[in-house]
Amino acid sequence: MIVTLIIACEVGFWVLLAAGLALRYLARMPRTGAAVLLCEPLLEVVLLVATAIDLKNGAEPDVWHGLAAVYIGVTATHGQYMVKWADGHAARLLKRGPRPAGPPKYGWPRAVHEWKMAARGVGAAAIAAALLQIAVWYVGEGTTQSEPLHDWQLRVAMYAGICVLIAVTYTVWPKQAPAEAASGKSGPAEESRPVDSGARR
């Protein structure tokens, strides 16, 4: 049941997204389209309730119950970002807006972007870990049923750590633009290059 519901929620997310954008740009109904997009969080609520009911009915917690918590956490923190990304590209394809700016590629702006993404990742992990802990308390701490849930808590903690590590690498070793890298290497050599007197004639 949980596997089917996770798939249904994922499909429903993209169906609602497509419907909201179609109403906004094709049907010229921006308010109705926005209302449809606001229904996205309801999918997470349905999944959360269904997971709790499944556990209450005696289902043994497994990898899918943990995955449901992760799905809720990721959608809660990345859902708005994905909707904004899709909205910008839909506006460009339908010639209703400029090409959306992509994430910065170099220097400190890229580091800031990576820290924002890391914050989303940490937030998703925190939400998932909290939901998993509630499930652990529900089934009983120290039981065999709680082991798969604790395993998922370890996985989301590792995911959060990887997100932060990526942001740290972009901060400590910022990626330079090709032009800046080239000028940094060739600048001193160009200054010491002798001037060709024949070129002045």
Tokens of 89: 């590209």
Question: With b meaning 16 or more CB within 10 Å and e meaning fewer, what string describes 28-46?
Answer: eeeeebeebbeebeebbee
Residue ranges for the chain with pLDDT beneath 50: 185-201
| Residue 26: predicted pLDDT | 84
DSSP 150-191: HHHHHHHHHHHHHHHHHHHHHHHSPPPPHHHHHHHHHHHHHH
pLDDT tens-place string over residues 122-161: 999 999 999 989 888 887 777 766 788 889 999 999 999 9
DSSP state of 60: P
| Residue 188: predicted pLDDT | 45
E runs forming strands in the chain: none
| Residue 163: predicted pLDDT | 96
In sign, the C-alpha dihedral spanning 112, 117, 118, 124 is positive
pTM over 0.85: no
Question: With b meaning 16 or more CB within 10 Å and e meaning fewer, what string describes 151-174?
Answer: ebbebbeebbeebbeebeebeeee
Is residue 5 within 8 Å of residue 47, measured between CB atoms? yes
Could you give the CA distance from residue 163 to residue 173 in angstroms, rounded to a whole number?
16
